[in-house]
Amino acid sequence: MALETTGHCLCGRVRYRATGEPKFRCYCHCESCRRATGAPVTAYAGYLVENFRFEGEPPRRYPSSPHVIRTFCAHCGTPLTFETTERPGEIHLLVGSADEPTAAHLAPERHVFENERVSWVLFGDGLPRKPADPAA
């Protein structure tokens, strides 16, 4: 049986299902993600679009900046995913919305946009840190 990741928004109206291993897993420190989520740092798992689907009510799509679409529940406001034309064919899931966010296959393996990190957010995890683009 294939590895499966499920999750949902706070009110449960928007659900999702992803199959297989994520392409990548990271902490993102960029200002855009902080503002979109209200959190000082976010955790993402990136999946191929063909391995991801929404269930239940469809999420609202918001073009938050050039080349970027973020999804969220129109009812409760929970942010759910990030997509960019700079990484076509991928959808990046906010790990905090997963049913089992502590699953080993969702654990971040690096930090990205370290150059935008909030100074008091400190991690002693020894993970690699990229100054900007997660694909770098």
CATH code of 48's domain? 2.170.150.70
Residue 124 belongs to some domain of the structure: no
Question: How many structural domains comprise the chain?
Answer: 1
Structural domain includes residue 12: yes
Mean pLDDT of 76-89: 97
Residue 127 lies in a domain: no
Report the C-alpha gap between 136 and 118 in whole angstroms: 21
Residue 135 lies in a domain: no
**Structural domain that includes position 28:** 4-116
Question: Tens of pLDDT along 20-74?
Answer: 999 999 999 999 999 999 999 999 999 999 999 999 999 999 999 999 999 999 9
Pairing of strands 111-112, 24-28: parallel
DSSP state of 35: H
Residue 106 covered by a domain: yes
Q: Exposed/middle/buried for 129, CB within 10 Å: 0-12, 13-18, 19+?
A: middle
Provide the CA 130 distance to its chain's centre, in angstroms.
17
Strands 79-84 and 68-72: antiparallel
pTM above 0.85, yes or no: yes
> Which residues is 65 bridged to in the sheet?
68
Let me know if residue 133 belongs to a domain. no
